[in-house]
A and B are shown apart, each in its own frame.
Chain A
C-alpha cells in the first residue's frame, strides 16, 4: 500500500506541472520518497500563491491509486525511480524518466543488454545484419533492446526471439498504442515473453518529440548501442549522439563507415567500429571491467 501511494504521488507530481520532468527524478531521489517530494511541491506552491490552501494529500492520492489499479488490471505496471525493479543502467543517466510504464516484466539481468538501432527503411543486408547481431548477442547472454519500429528494430527483436533470447521493446508512444500498426502483434509478443517499456501516458500518440525521448531511455537502459544501418537523418544517429552524451559506448558495424556521418563519429571517443558481434562482445567485456587495477 505504501508502495502504491509512492507511485500515485509520482503520477500526481508529473501532472502537477511547473517542475521539469528531469527535476522530478532528482527531487524524488533527494527526498527518498515521492510522497514527501509531492508534499514539498505543494508547500512551495502555497508559498507562491499566498492564499492557496495546500490540497489534502489523501484527496489527491486516492483517485490516482484507483487509476494505477486499473492500469495494472490492463497489464500495465508503473515503475518509479525508487523501485528496486527500475533498470539499473538507466538510473545512472541524467535524463532518466521518473516513471516507466511496463508491460511484461523487468529483470535484474536486463542490465546486461545491448540496444540495436538503425533505419526503418533498411536494405536486405541491413535487415540481415540486425537479425544476425541480435541472435548472436542473445546467444552470448545479452538482452536485446530495440524500438519496435519497422526495419532494423523489427529484425533485431525477431532475431533475438528466434534465438530464445530476451528482447525489450522501448516505444515512442503510450503502451496502449503501437507504431507502426503492423507491429502490434510483435509488441504483444514482447509484452508476454519479456517486456515493453514506455515513458509516456498510456494513450500518448507518436510525435516528433516522443522518438528522441524514447532513444534516450533506450540508450540509458543498455550497456551500449549498436548502430546497424542508418543514414544521417535516421533516429539511430540521434541515439548514437545521446549514448555518447551518456558516456555509453557506441558500436558501429564496419559497414556503417559507408556513411559520411558515421566516419565522423568514428573519430569520437567512445565510438567503436566492430567487425562482428564476437568483436563487440569482447569489447563490452573489456569496457565493463572495474575490478582490475587500472594501468598508466
Chain B
C-alpha cells in the first residue's frame, strides 16, 4: 500500500490542536503561555536564562485533553502499536508545520536557515537511550528534518535535580563551527530542558539555536490560563504560527 502524505496524516489533528497566542500583553515573550497580569514573561521564563533565538510552539497542549494525551502516548503508550501510530502522526504534524513555517522561525532567529536539526534529550542517559521516538520522528519519519538530523546532544548525568535549568545537564558530542541549529522537542512545560540544551549547543559554538516544540503545555487550572484559552478559538490554522511572516 502506498504511503500517505503528511497533509493527509496530520489533518485530523486540527480537530484538537490550538494555535498558541501571539506576542501581546499577558503572553510570555519567551514561551507563549500566560504571563500574568502586568508581567512580560511567565514566572518560569523570568527566572531562567534564555539561550534560544526563537521559541515556536506548534500548538497548545492542554492538560488532560487530547493533544496532551498524544504527546504522552507517543513515547510512553502502553503498547508498541500505540507508540508507533502516534509517533507517525506527530511526525506528520511537525513536517507540515515546518514546510510552512521554518522560514518564519529562521526569520525570527535572524538567520536564513538551519544547517543542522537535533532533538532535546531526556534528562538521563538511561531514559534518553530508551526513548527513541522523538529522534525517530525528527531523524527518520519527518521529511522536513531527517536529511539534516544529527544526534548532537547527550545527557551528562551529573545533575541531581532535572526539574530546573542546568547548564551542565547536556553536552554536545562534537564542536560546531557556527552552524545554525533547529532544536526539536515534543513538549515545553517549564522550558528548563530546552534552555539547558540550547546552552550546551552555544557552548559547542553553534550559531543561532531556535526551538520548534510541538506542544506548549498549559493547564486550565492555572491563573489566567483559562482566560487566555477562552480568547483563542479553533479551528486550527495550519497557515499561521506564533512568529508568522508573510
Contact = CB atoms under 8 A, between A and B. Distances in A.
A293 interface: yes
Given A91-B77, A247-B15, A296 B5 contact: yes
B79 A94 contact: no
Nearest to A22: B64
Contacts of B16: 245-247
Interface residues of A, number: 31
Nearest to B73: A92
Interface stretch (A43-51, A186-194, A256-264, A283-291): A283-291
A247 B12 contact: yes
Interface in A268-296: 268-270, 285-296
A36 interface: no
A247 B4 contact: no
Contact of B77 (A92, A249, A295): A92
B1 A270 contact: no
B228 interface: no
A23 B69 CA distance: 12
Interface string B205-235: 0000000000000000000000000000001
Interface stretch (B82-90, B117-125, B158-166, B167-175): B82-90
B85 A290 contact: yes
5 contacts: A22-B64, A94-B64, A247-B13, A269-B15, A270-B12
Interface of B: 1-6, 9, 11-16, 64-66, 68-70, 73, 77-79, 81-82, 84-86, 88-89, 91-92, 95, 141, 143, 235
Interface of A: 20, 22-23, 26, 88, 91-94, 111, 244-249, 268-270, 285-296
The 9 closest A-B pairs by CB, nearest first: A270-B12, A269-B11, A94-B69, A292-B3, A244-B15, A290-B88, A247-B12, A94-B66, A295-B3
